[in-house]
Chain A
Amino acid sequence: MFKSIIVISITFLFSCAESYVLKTGQTVEYKTGDNGTYHALTGVERSYSRDNINGIVSDHSTNLQWQDYYEEGKIYRTDWTAANTYCTKLHLKGVGWRLPTRYELTTIVDYSQSHPAINTTFFQVTASGTYWSSTSYMKPESANAWRTNFNDGGDYVSKKENVNFVRCVRGAK
């Protein structure tokens, strides 16, 4: 009987994983029944803090750390392959950086903002433009990869040889 209680408890724990959909940021109601109406009831609230000495933003809701500092203040902009290399070689309060996945990059979009569509209280260095994700279009060998436009927050594919901005990430995957 004891054993069966353990099994049931373990199964229960694994069945009750917390919702991972984040709040969009929209609190304004434009029409009854829209995102603003349900803002308080749906999604996980973001929880940011910023290490101002090193220029690193921590997102405690996703357990990710985000680069928010660039040498000489120049936001790095390059093709997809060089973007991956740049992140893996980045030394910013240690190593372990990488290019974010498409999903990870969308988690820092704040849909209540635009130009840039990000929380600028914490992310203080953001270009008006498109940022690379590490996610190739459908297959790793694809000539295209996903990139997010931080003017509006939307995303689309771009040829890997094209030039986009880079913001590296580290932590939970």
Chain B
Amino acid sequence: MKWIIFLAMLAGTLHAALIRDNVLEVVYDEKTNLIWQDNISVKTDRFIWEDAIDYCEALDFANSQEWRVPNINELFSIVHMEHAFPSINTDIFKNIVPRYYYWSSTTFAGNTNFVWNIYFGYGHESTCTRNHRYYVRCVRDKEPEAVLPLQPSELPFLYYYLLN
């Protein structure tokens, strides 16, 4: 029986780090507890920085109005370091412009006319003035859940264990 417990744990820890909801067009990152916008707008709509902030603040998408522009650390958390052009996990994130910049909400402390962004070609952090027209991928926190957060992938192990 012990190995079944082990497999259930393994499925929970290894398998479910990044999950895409193909109906809502969002990606849930279990490591960071963040939910990412992943619809067509992420690769079609470009904004100057102020408008990117207003866009995410006003966004009503995937049953939520809690969207915001990610800060530079949040945006960096979805950079996939073994990939380039784009430097993101394209098995999960379906919408990305591979050779362009995405805004963060973090201002450059050395010159507050500049804002941090990530170029998803190489996946590096850089700064530029607010009047550039870049893409944005809004983010929100996942609300705490009342039910047990079992992933679908874990259920077969659990059922097997309980039935034996």
Contacts and interface: CB of A to CB of B under 8 A. Distances in A.
A35 interface: yes
Contact of B73 (A36, A43, A117): A43
A34 interface: yes
B154 A33 contact: no
Contact of B116 (A11, A19, A23, A111): A111
Given A4-B161, A30-B112, A35-B104, A11 B148 contact: yes
User: Which of A10, A28, A102, A152 has most chain B Cβ within 10 Å?
Assistant: A152
B156 to A, nearest CB: 13
B60 interface: no
Contacts of B82: 138-139
Give the size range of B's interface with the partner.
35 or more
B74 A42 contact: yes
Contacts of A32: 53, 57
A11 B9 contact: yes
B8 A7 contact: yes
Interface residues of A, number: 53
Interface in B107-121: 107-110, 112, 116
Interface string A12-38: 101111011111101010111111111
Interface stretch (B26-34, B35-43, B92-100): B26-34
Interface in B87-142: 104-110, 112, 116, 122, 124-127, 141
A64 to B, nearest CB: 16
Contacts of A36: 107
B53 A12 contact: no
A85 to B, nearest CB: 23
B110 A43 contact: no
A34 B69 contact: yes
B84 A138 contact: yes
B109 A21 contact: no
Interface of B: 1, 5, 8-9, 12-13, 16, 30-34, 50, 53-54, 56-57, 68-69, 71-74, 76-77, 81-84, 104-110, 112, 116, 122, 124-127, 141, 148-151, 154, 158, 161-162
Interface of A: 3-4, 6-8, 10-12, 14-17, 19-24, 26, 28, 30-38, 41-43, 102-103, 106, 111-115, 117, 135, 137-139, 146, 151-157
